[in-house]
Structure 1
Amino acid sequence: MDSLEILVSIRKIVRSLNLESKSIQKDFGLSITQLLCLGHLEKSPNYQSNHRELMNLLSLNSSTVTGIINRLEKRGYVIRMPKQGDKRMTYITLTASGIKLLEETPNVLHERLAKKLDLLSNDERGMVRNSLEIITSAMQIHQLDASPLLTPEDPID
Structure 2
Amino acid sequence: MNYAEILINIRKIARSVNLESKRLEKEYGISIPQLLALSFLREQEHYQASHKAIKDFLKLNASTVTGIITRLEKKGMVAKLPRLNDKRVSLITLTARGAELLKATPHPLHQQISQKLQSLSVEELKQLNEAFQSINDILKIDIIEDDAEVDAGN
Which TM-score band applies after superposition, normalised by the shorter structure?
0.7 to 0.9
In structure 2, the partner of 1:109 is 109
Call closer, same or farther: CA 1:149–1:124 in 2, change over 3 Å: farther
In structure 2, the partner of 1:43 is 43
In structure 2, the partner of 1:10 is 10
In structure 2, the partner of 1:124 is 124
Measure how far apart 1:147 and its partner are: 5.3
Contact 1:33 1:148 (C-alpha < 8 Å) held by counterparts = no
TM, length-normalised to structure 2: 0.87
C-alpha distance in 2 between matches for 1:117 and 1:147: 29
Greater mean alpha carbon deviation, residues 93-102 or residues 114-123: 114-123
C-alpha distance in 1 between matches for 2:33 and 2:16: 15
Q: Return the structure number with greater relative CO, CA threshold 8 A, min gap 6.
A: 2
SS at match of 1:15: helix
Question: What aligned pairs does 1:81-92 form with structure 2 within 5 A after superposition?
Answer: 81-92=81-92
C-alpha distance in 2 between matches for 1:67 and 1:29: 15
Question: Which stretches of structure 1, 4 residues or longer, exceed 6 Å deviation after superposition?
Answer: none
Q: Deviations over 1:64-111 (max 9, x none)?
A: 111110110111110111222122322111011100011111122122
Q: Give 1:149's aligned amino acid.
A: A
TM, length-normalised to structure 1: 0.85
Q: Structure 1: any 5+ residue segments left out of the alignment?
A: 152-157
Call closer, same or farther: CA 1:87–1:61 in 2, change over 3 Å: same
Q: Deviations over 1:104-140 (max 9, x none)?
A: 111221221123234544443332221111112112x
Q: Percent identity?
A: 43
Call closer, same or farther: CA 1:10–1:24 in 2, change over 3 Å: same
C-alpha distance in 2 between matches for 1:102 and 1:148: 23
Q: Structure 2: any 5+ residue segments left out of the alignment?
A: none
Question: What aligned pairs does 1:49-64 form with structure 2 within 5 A after superposition?
Answer: 49-64=49-64
Measure how far apart 1:57 and its partner are: 1.4
